């Protein structure tokens, strides 16, 4: 059986290093991982970044090289990393690529704490035209936003002894990713029916469980919902819990030669 490469996609205000506790657990189980860095995180020019440029970065710099190498891919994404991962081009899914005579492709997704924004919609409009009060725009400068306070909304499940250090890892992010339309998102592809897991973070204070339930229902696609007692960035304080869900999906979806 061929083990997929696990592509880890962070959300806003975090970086690839946020997966530093999760990745070794996946490696120990025999899986390669690739972690995405978003140029829209702490950018020199905030106004150069949109939901589309965020998606194109994921596609051009991470997904496409894996596809070119014929790799099977399992996508783990959280928060805006899930809603802003998509393409206007040919499907990345393994089924669609096989039909085109190509090797490799996305075999499934595990999403967590996402807002499933439909194609052509902004995250701002998806949330009713107003951002949550803890999202502070034009902070620390025009065109950027931060989470304030950080700990209750990103790392509320972390031990108190770690919270100050974790708060310092949060980065300003370009506001344009929230106020511009998303590309056709990966999660909406019907070729992934039966291959979608929603890790429902029961301690999430950014998208609480009851809101996540509305998101899942409103996405109008099939999800296997797995509930765990973790927060919005549960892969930090509870990397083992998140790894168990990701590895379970990977083992079910591994493909033959």
pLDDT 10s digits, 105-143: 999 999 999 999 999 999 999 999 999 999 999 999 999
Asked whether the beta carbons of 85 and 47 are under 8 A apart, the reply is no
pLDDT at 256: 60
pLDDT at 130: 94
CA pair distance 144, 103, nearest whole angstrom: 40
- For the chain, the distance separating the N- and C-terminal CA atoms, rounded to the nearest angstrom, is 6
Nearest to 71 by CA among 94, 100, 96, 89: 94
User: What pTM was estimated for this model as a whole?
Assistant: 0.96
The whole-number average pLDDT for the span 198-211 is 96
pLDDT 10s digits, 74-105: 999 999 999 999 998 999 999 999 999 999 99
The whole-number average pLDDT for the span 177-189 is 97
Domains observed in the chain: 5-253 (3.40.50.1820)
Asked whether the beta carbons of 63 and 89 are under 8 A apart, the reply is no
Contacts 24+ apart (CB under 8 A), 92-95: 92/63, 92/67, 92/186, 93/189, 93/191, 93/192, 94/191, 94/255, 95/191
pLDDT at 255: 74
- Computed over every residue of the chain, the mean pLDDT equals 95
pLDDT at 2: 83
CA pair distance 205, 132, nearest whole angstrom: 11
Exposure string for 16-48, b = 16+ CB within 10 A, e = fewer: bebbebbbebbeeeebebbbbebebbebeebee
CA pair distance 83, 51, nearest whole angstrom: 9
pLDDT at 249: 97
pLDDT 10s digits, 7-48: 999 999 999 999 999 999 999 999 999 999 999 999 999 999
Evaluate if residue 257 carries a pLDDT over 60: no
Q: Which helix (H) or strand (E) holds 199?
A: strand 196-201
């Amino acid at each position: 059986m061929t083990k997929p490469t696990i592509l880890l996609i962070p959300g806003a205000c975090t970086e690839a290093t946020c997966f530093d506790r999760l990745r070794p657990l996946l490696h120990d189980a025999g899986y390669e991982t690739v972690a995405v860095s978003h140029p829209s995180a702490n950018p020199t020019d905030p106004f150069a970044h949109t939901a589309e440029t965020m998606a194109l970065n994921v596609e051009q710099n991470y997904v496409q090289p894996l596809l070119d190498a014929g790799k099977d891919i399992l996508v783990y994404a959280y928060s805006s990393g899930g809603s802003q991962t998509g393409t206007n081009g040919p499907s990345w899914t393994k089924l669609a690529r096989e039909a085109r005579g190509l090797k490799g492709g996305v075999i499934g997704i595990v999403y967590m704490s996402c807002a499933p924004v439909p194609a052509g919609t902004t995250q701002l409009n998806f949330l009713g035209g107003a951002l949550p009060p803890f999202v502070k725009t034009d902070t620390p400068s025009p065109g950027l936003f931060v989470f304030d306070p950080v700990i209750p909304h990103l790392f509320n499940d972390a031990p108190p002894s770690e919270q100050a250090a974790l708060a310092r890892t949060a980065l300003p992010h370009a506001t344009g990713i929230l106020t511009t339309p998303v590309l056709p998102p990966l999660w909406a592809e019907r070729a992934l029916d039966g291959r979608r897991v929603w890790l429902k973070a029961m301690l999430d204070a950014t998208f609480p469980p009851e809101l996540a339930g509305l998101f899942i229902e409103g996405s109008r696609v099939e999800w296997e919902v797995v509930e765990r007692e973790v927060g919005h960035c549960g892969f930090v304080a509870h990397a083992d819990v998140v790894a168990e869900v990701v590895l379970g999906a990977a083992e079910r979806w591994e493909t033959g030669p």
